[in-house]
Amino acid sequence: MIRSIRKNRGFTLIELIIVIAILTVLAALTVPVLQMGSRTAKSVKCIANLKAIYLGLVQYTDEFDDFLPAAGSDEGEKNGWPAWYRTLLPYVGNQWEVYACPGKYFRIKDIERDISEGAPNQAPGVETMAMVHYGMNHAFAEDDEEQRIELWGQTRQRQMIKYPARTIAFCDTGQIEDGEGGSDNPLDWVETRASAEPGFCSFPTGLWRPVARHDGKTNVVFYGGGAESIPTREIIAHDYGDVGCLFDNE
């Protein structure tokens, strides 16, 4: 009886090259999809944060006769006007993480810094600093100078907002390093590590502006409760007072 003996044959060099080429193509096709999925997940989480902040705002205004919290204080908390994120902290479950956008790689923090030595023109003590990734709309002001009511310091009632469904309450905000006179293209803006310490957002040349963290878009929540991703270019295309501006009350 004659038995044939079959020898195991390995890959040839050409076959190995073909397999590697196929795996390379598959990887090239898969990685962008995974990256897009990751970016989408971050944007969804960011919008969830903004909605949580909005719900905290609603609870606060329900408790305080519809008055909004102050955006911040130009002379610090000693004047009794803490930034909105401190005011709303109990209404978001005391969770600082709500103020952290997953699309921004700098962590938020709430720290106490010892200034017992006393800096020039500063009394010794403990200073509390905070970094958040969202800013409150700082554009409300009456035309009449004598009746000016700004969110910085004094506040107005939520019912005074004429178009809550298209007026931004909070949005992705960061400190921009180019300051005044820089590029008007939001895709060129670079955020610094300072984040949005004051807690307010303005544009076009302010240091703390809407930023494009999500594929050229800024996540926002309106005073009417709706939240969405809007191309940052569209947000800054209309200055205060212009028809279509999402920051003013006109």
Where do the structural domains in the chain lie, given as residue ranges?
Answer: 37-236
Instruction: Check: pTM over 0.85? Answer yes or no.
Output: no
Q: Report the SS3 class of residue 36.
A: helix
Question: Region 51-75: what's the mean pLDDT?
Answer: 86
Question: Is pLDDT at 120 greater than 60 in this prediction?
Answer: no
Of 195, 204, 191, nearest to 247 (Cα)? Answer: 204
Classify burial at 116, counting beta carbons within 10 Å of its beta carbon; exposed 0-12, middle 13-18, buried 19 or more. exposed
Of 222, 226, 215, 228, nearest to 249 (Cα)? Answer: 222
Question: Region 6-32: what's the mean pLDDT?
Answer: 70
- pLDDT class of 36 with cuts at 50, 70, 90: low
Question: Region 172-200: what's the mean pLDDT?
Answer: 74
Q: Can you tell me the distance from the alpha carbon of 134 to that of 170, in angstroms, rounded to the nearest whole number?
A: 6
- pLDDT class of 90 with cuts at 50, 70, 90: very high
Question: Region 53-58: what's the mean pLDDT?
Answer: 96
Q: Can you tell me the distance from the alpha carbon of 161 to that of 140, in angstroms, rounded to the nearest whole number?
A: 9
Q: What percent of the chain has pLDDT over 70?
A: 66
* Residue 249 pLDDT: 72
Whose structure tokens read 């300051």? 179
205-245 pLDDT, tens digit each: 678 889 998 989 999 999 999 999 999 999 988 888 888 88
Q: Can you tell me the distance from the alpha carbon of 230 to that of 199, in angstroms, rounded to the nearest whole number?
A: 20
- φ, ψ of residue 182 to 5 degrees: the values are -85, -170
